[in-house]
């Protein structure tokens, strides 16, 4: 059994679609980034790479590579999940925290959960998403969405 942890954060900016957990959310701003900026999927990728001792996302998909400009982060997560399969291992569960002052993510948690499960090839019951507001550090977190992820593979 191996455990991995991941963290990521991206800024909300005008003129970008908001993609989080592999789902496009109707909101006036989106996450800045070389790819689609999906910090939840990036945290999950890093958690999987971490569990496997495979470094981090930047090593696998450098943000200086034009190939990944505006790329859908689902393909990064599929790559990480593929490394799990390559080792004849399975994902037991993934747990995540998304920290965002806005938008309200509660209405989107279930569809994100289903989307992540689909990308990883596991059941929605093996994926958990917790949406938290940055209580007490609202100023520091203004205009940012951050995510943490833990995975267990075995
Ligand atoms: Mg990122």
Q: Report CA(130)–ligand 1 centroid distance (Å).
A: 19
Q: Report CA(118)–ligand 1 centroid distance (Å).
A: 20
Q: Say what the pLDDT of residue 90 is.
A: 98
40: left (phi over 0), alpha (psi -120 to 50) or beta: alpha
Residue of 67, 87, 81 lying closest to 149 (CA atoms): 81
Q: Report CA(12)–ligand 1 centroid distance (Å).
A: 12
Provide the CA 99 distance to its chain's centre, in angstroms: 12
pLDDT averaged over every residue in the chain: 97
Answer whether residue 63 shows pLDDT above 90: no
Is 92 within 8 Å of 1 (Cβ atoms)? yes
Runs of H (alpha helix) within 8-139: 39-52, 57-60, 74-86, 109-120
Residue of 109, 118, 114, 105 lying closest to 77 (CA atoms): 118
Q: Report CA(73)–ligand 1 centroid distance (Å).
A: 9
Answer whether residue 154 shows pLDDT above 90: yes
Q: Report CA(11)–ligand 1 centroid distance (Å).
A: 10
Mean local confidence (pLDDT), 53-74: 93
Q: Report CA(10)–ligand 1 centroid distance (Å).
A: 6
Answer whether residue 144 shows pLDDT above 90: yes
Instruction: Return the percentage of the chain with pLDDT > 90, whole number.
Output: 94
Q: Say what the pLDDT of residue 111 is.
A: 98
């Amino acid at each position: 059994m191996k455990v991995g942890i991941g963290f990521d954060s991206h800024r909300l900016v005008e003129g970008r679609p908001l993609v989080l957990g592999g789902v496009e959310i109707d909101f006036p701003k989106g996450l800045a980034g070389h790819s689609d900026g999906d910090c939840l999927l990036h945290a999950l990728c890093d958690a999987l790479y971490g569990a496997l001792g495979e470094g981090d996302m930047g090593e696998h998909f450098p943000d200086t590579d034009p190939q990944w400009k505006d790329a859908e982060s689902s393909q990064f997560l599929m790559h990480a999940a593929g490394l799990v399969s390559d080792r004849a291992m399975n994902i037991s569960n993934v747990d995540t925290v998304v920290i965002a002052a806005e938008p309200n993510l509660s209405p989107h948690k279930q569809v994100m959960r289903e989307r992540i499960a689909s990308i990883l090839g596991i059941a929605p019951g093996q994926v958990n998403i917790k949406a938290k507001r940055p209580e007490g550090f609202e100023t520091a977190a203004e205009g940012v969405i951050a995510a943490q992820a833990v995975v267990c593979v075995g």
